[in-house]
Structure 1
Amino acid sequence: MGFRHISKDIKDRALWLRSEGYITDDICEILGISECSIRRWKNTLDEHGTVIPPSNLLQGRPRTLNSDQCNDLFTMLEDTPELYLDEIQDWVALSHDVSMLKSALHALIRDAGSTYKMLCKAAAECDEEARAIFKTFISEHLTADMVVTVDETSKDDRTIFRRWGRAPHG
C-alpha cells in the first residue's frame, strides 16, 4: 500500500476494533490499512494521547543567523543603510564569524521588510553644524574682493555619496 491520508476517525476506529478483540488482519482488510499503521497509531496514542502526532516545530533547514545576530545586522543597517550586499556580507563574516551567500543575505533582509531605495542626497549632505562653522569663518576672515565664484553648469553630479540604501518597506 502506498502513502495516503487516513482520517482521524478511521485511525480511532481501527484502534477501537483492535481493543475490542478483532483480528488485526481483518481490521486491515476491512479498512484498507496496514498492520504497521495500526502499531504506529497505537504508539502515538500511548505517547501523546491522540492518534495524530504533534507537528514538528523544527522543520526545514536551520537558520544561518540566530536572533541576536539578526538583531545586530538590522541595527547596523539602520545606522548605515547605504552598504552594499558584499560589504554587509563581509561585516557578518567578520563580526559573527558566519559565512553567508549574498542571495541568502538579501532574502533575510527582504523578509524582514527592508527594501533598497534611492537615498535623499540633500538630506544626507546637509550638516547644520558644518554650515554654521563655514558661515562664521566666511564672515570673520573674508572680504568681498577675496571671493571667487565658479560656474558649475558642467557639473555631472558625481559624488562620493551613495545613491541607494536600505529602508523599511512602505
Structure 2
Amino acid sequence: MPRRPPPIPIRRNYSRDLKNRVIHQHYTLQRKTSEISVNLDMPLRVVQRVLGTWKEIGDVCRERKGRGRRRVLSTHNMQFLIAIVDRNPDIYLDEIQDEIWTQHGVDVSIKTIHNSLKRLGYSSKKLTRQAAERQQERRDRFFLEIGGIPPEYLVCGDESAVNLLTTYRLNGWSVKGVRAWKIAKFIRGTRCVLTLLFPLHVLTVSQDTQFYQR
C-alpha cells in the first residue's frame, strides 16, 4: 500500500498573555519546558521559541513588519488624485491615468486608480449640473420683486429650443454621502415662444370640456 503523507500540523496563534505565562512558570516557578508544555497545552517547540524570544529581545512577541509590496501611488500621488477629481468630478479613469503619467511619470493601471478612489471614500454617482450662467444675487432679487406681485397679474409662457449640449457626462466622482455636481453651461441655442401669453386673471379652465375660455 502506498504511504500516506504525514498530516500537516495546524499552526495556532497564541496570545501574549499565554506567552507571558510561559515566562512566569519558567523563571518564577522554576519549571522545565516539558512541564510548561503540558500545563499550558502548548507544543514544546513553541515554549522553547517563546523563551528564546524573551532572551533575545526581552519580550514574548516581535513587532510585525509591513506585509505586501509597496503601493504604486505615493502619498503625494494620492493628494494629486484627490485634487484632480475634486476639480473635475466627471473625469474618466483613463484620463486620470494619463494625467498621473504626464504630471508624475507614474505608470498605474485603471484598476489601481479605481481601488485608490474607493479607499479614499469616493464613489461614482449621478452627476448634478449647476448652470454656469446662474447669478445667485440676481435670482434673490428676482424672488423679492416677484413676491410683491399678485398671482393674477403673472404671465406664463412656454419656450422651446434645440438642445446643443447633449455631450455632457452623466456620472461623476465624489465622497460617499456627498452629491457629485459640476458647473456647466445651460445655454442650448435660440429659444422660440410657441404659445400665446395671457394674464391668468382672464383665463379659466373648464374641467368638463378641457378647453380654455375667456
Indicate the residue corresponding to 2:32 in structure 1.
23
Indicate the residue corresponding to 2:101 in structure 1.
93
Q: Given that residues 121 and 163 in structure 1 are in contact (C-alpha distance below 8 angstroms), is that contact kept between their aligned partners in structure 2?
A: no
- Give yes or no for the alignment of 1:72 onto 2:98: no
- Give yes or no for the alignment of 1:50 onto 2:59: yes
Supply the distance in 1 between the matched residues of 2:166 and 2:84 (Cα, whole angstroms).
23
Q: Given that residues 82 and 164 in structure 1 are in contact (C-alpha distance below 8 angstroms), is that contact kept between their aligned partners in structure 2?
A: yes
Indicate the structure with greater helix content.
1
Supply the distance in 2 between the matched residues of 1:26 and 1:121 (Cα, whole angstroms).
74
Segments of 4+ moved more than 6 angstroms: none
Shift of 1:74: 0.9
Supply the distance in 2 between the matched residues of 1:10 and 1:65 (Cα, whole angstroms).
40
Shift of 1:91: 1.6
Of stretches 61-70 and 155-164 in structure 1, the one that deviates more from structure 2 is 155-164
Q: Given that residues 53 and 60 in structure 2 are in contact (C-alpha distance below 8 angstroms), is that contact kept between their aligned partners in structure 1?
A: yes
Q: Given that residues 85 and 106 in structure 1 are in contact (C-alpha distance below 8 angstroms), is that contact kept between their aligned partners in structure 2?
A: yes
- Structure 2 counterparts to residues 113-132 of structure 1, below 5 A: 113-123=121-131, 125-126=132-133
RMSD: 3.0
Indicate the residue corresponding to 1:132 in structure 2.
none
How many residues of Structure 1 are paired with residues of Structure 2 in the alignment? 145
Larger Rg belongs to: 2
TM-score of the superposed pair, with normalisation by structure 2: 0.54
Supply the distance in 1 between the matched residues of 2:76 and 2:16 (Cα, whole angstroms).
41
TM-score of the superposed pair, with normalisation by structure 1: 0.65
Supply the distance in 2 between the matched residues of 1:82 and 1:111 (Cα, whole angstroms).
18
Supply the distance in 1 between the matched residues of 2:114 and 2:53 (Cα, whole angstroms).
41
Supply the distance in 1 between the matched residues of 2:111 and 2:65 (Cα, whole angstroms).
25
Structure 1 residues 72 and 10: CA distance shift in structure 2, 3 A:
closer
Shift of 1:2: 3.4
Indicate the residue corresponding to 2:169 in structure 1.
162
1:13 to 21, 24, 27: 21
Supply the distance in 2 between the matched residues of 1:115 and 1:76 (Cα, whole angstroms).
15
Shift of 1:87: 1.0
Question: How far does the alpha carbon of each residue in 1:8-41 deviate from its partner, in whole angstroms, 9 at most, with x for none?
Answer: 4442332233335433233324433233322321
SS at structure 2 position matched to 1:83:
coil
Indicate the structure with greater strand content.
2
Question: How far does the alpha carbon of each residue in 1:35-86 deviate from its partner, in whole angstroms, 9 at most, with x for none?
Answer: 33223212433455432434x2623443221111100111111122221111
Q: What code does the residue aligned with 1:41 have?
A: V
**Gapped runs of 5+ residues in structure 1?**
129-150
Supply the distance in 2 between the matched residues of 1:6 and 1:121 (Cα, whole angstroms).
56
Q: What code does the residue aligned with 1:18 have?
A: H
Indicate the residue corresponding to 1:141 in structure 2.
none
- Structure 2 counterparts to residues 145-156 of structure 1, below 5 A: 155=162
Task: Kindly indicate whether structure 1 or structure 2 has the higher relative contact order, using CA contacts under 8 Å at least 6 residues apart.
Answer: 1
- Identity among equivalent positions (%) equals 26
Q: Given that residues 15 and 38 in structure 1 are in contact (C-alpha distance below 8 angstroms), is that contact kept between their aligned partners in structure 2?
A: no
